[in-house]
């Protein structure tokens, strides 16, 4: 189980806006944002599927099979490599230091 999600954290060290149906997948956006925050190349990072169900992220927040956006609001947070990653339902990806 991951460490508890950080409460009242300061400004993120990196952030990005994911666009559903854009050129990058949500996972790619998360990895690029985490890479920027950590100063490490994406291929040097721990694979996300080791800490979170990446398919579930896409399913929960992504559009339905008919392309309609889901009427879901909220966020999912997880800790990876000393960083808290927050994925918001509207596509915002925030990365905070967790150490």
Q: Catalogue the E-assigned strands of 14-88.
A: 14-17, 75-80, 83-88
For residues 76 and 60, is the Cβ–Cβ distance under 8 A?
yes
Give percent of the chain with pLDDT exceeding 90. 49
Report residue 2: phi and psi, to 5°.
-70, 160
> Which pair of tokens denotes residue 12?
């993120």
Supply the pTM of this predicted model: 0.81
Q: Please list the residues that pair with 24 across neighbouring strands.
A: none
Q: What is the pLDDT of residue 41?
A: 96
Average the pLDDT over 23-49 and give the result: 93
The per-residue pLDDT of the chain, averaged, comes to: 85
**Residue 2 CB coordination number (10 Å):** 12
For residues 69 and 63, is the Cβ–Cβ distance under 8 A?
yes
């Amino acid at each position: 189980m991951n460490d508890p999600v950080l409460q009242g954290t300061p400004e993120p060290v990196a952030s990005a806006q994911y666009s559903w149906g854009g050129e990058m997948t949500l996972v790619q956006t998360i990895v690029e944002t985490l890479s920027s925050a950590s100063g490490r190349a994406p291929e040097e990072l721990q694979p996300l599927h080791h800490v979170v169900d990446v398919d579930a992220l896409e399913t929960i927040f992504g559009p339905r099979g008919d392309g309609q956006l889901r009427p879901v609001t909220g966020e999912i947070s997880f800790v990876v490599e000393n960083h808290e990653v927050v994925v918001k339902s509207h596509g915002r990806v925030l990365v905070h230091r967790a150490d």
